[in-house]
Structure 1
């Protein structure tokens, strides 16, 4: 459940809705839109009916049952639940974040309400599915741990799930009349699948705490590398681990801090039983390169904790094999951090290579290492790169400009969907 409503319902928070949290902050600040929020919940969070209802700070919210652990599975009952929510709130516009989730396709199958749907492209799932393995050795891709076998969640099966999500995303794009995104990459994806879909450019508003504070070369921990996610191959942590021997030759004190779940834990029998194949491979790389004291998993982090880690690090690294417009890169940039990212997907739309960030070919550890070393060896260049990144991100993520565009898009969709 989104953290902005979790406290009200006394249930577990998630920290995965940064794009919604930023927009919601502006909606509340301006106070000129009547909005409600609908989001997936687990069965145990539904007490009296199949729809959770509530209100906080004058804003209605609804929870609908969806299997968030297996978003590749589609449940027809979603169509009735979302249709009922629409009948209760009667929205002029239905802004649906993400194209690959079951609820996106379901809302596009709710009769006349589907005409009011604005799909918001987050990742381009066909590209994510295509690049999911991120250069993993075939032996690793084909291997299965006990945990993978029990959960039917091997790396190969994960790739198959992404393929299914990509198929659903394409079906949703074909059915949508309106879409918004923020890169040339996602615009091309929409136009290729559905040339008649009206596409609007809408930049993201970040979580509010990232609009304050600035990275300082003199305040960070020297040679500390921060990566915002590393639990699946697509995010490329194994690429960074393979780059570490080159980095350590020049900077023996270099370290990696990873936000998110510790997928390499294996000290107890229970941990070893729960170890996924990708975690096993990462563990093997850590052992191979003697990185046991060089890699730290930080666990799930809220916005303020993420900000603290950005400011503490010497460089932010995004070694993904595919991304569209990752909020974590925007957060690092707006704080003025030097950043290294893979030159894939929509990332080139976000920053100029060599001036605002350093872009490197994906899945090439030596190239990644060279870029990180370039930042470490020249503090002045690192600072200039960060300053330029902050200037660019302050335009991309301008809260007032993005809110005005959001309102205008809502007006256009409402007018043209009648």
Structure 2
């Protein structure tokens, strides 16, 4: 069976990358953009780094800034109405995963109006038409939403997140500019960085992994492991490396899927609005322990990529423990909580969380199958 790879048409990676937005918009003949972002990025003049470029070059746009963390069906519908009303012919997403995910949903539904209820986009849906063209400008180094074919929306009525997978939603151009990430506070830098590490480790160990994505994921693990502490400390080079590392992880996992770390993290966002990166970071080492027996020699390479020495002289049990310990140490060093209790999870909700995780679209990709009971026991062990 052939392995499919879907990537952006074009990507600009490095400090100052957003300058290329002007040329790309003009060369593609676009007339007006809807800029999708959130109020904080407008308030703190992060979004203005892009809109100022548009103003200076006479490129028309309107702004939709009502996106919130864990974007909902209602937010997508509101943004879609804004897109239709303003007469735009392309979208510019500025933000972390929430604005980019919202933009993907808007773009897909604008081109495929039969999915206007939003919830029918859940799962692997091959929509007939490509999304309205999207330019994606990430402001966090974690989700890699700018290079993936996935997006996540929250159904508030049912208190659940649902994952959408569609090759037609990928942004046509990504502008991965570390200068756009320079205002991230330490906590957000840590959380999004651990999200990126989770993408790389889950993508490397998922059932669908293969040689090309293994290469991407191992390189991403290496970059993130050596750079996240420096990025959290505010060092410029660390932030630049994290911008690249999270993008490389996204190139891989978008094409092979994830596992039960994400399946277990998604309900936490739906139930408690838990930041996605924090949820992943708390859960990751416990799931690594659960999955270890189904990963062959891969934990040796994870340990090596994370800078553990003498892995070739270790037994299988030793290098698996070394990989998990390295993840735990990085998480601790950047200030991630260690238990679900610390992040506000209620013990009485654990059974419902397990049921939701079992139904999540990421769960089948896990290297070791997990029943509802397995997931509940994992939640209990992390609590």
Q: Which TM-score band applies after superposition, normalised by the shorter structure? A: 0.3 to 0.5
TM-score by length of 2: 0.32
TM-score by length of 1: 0.30
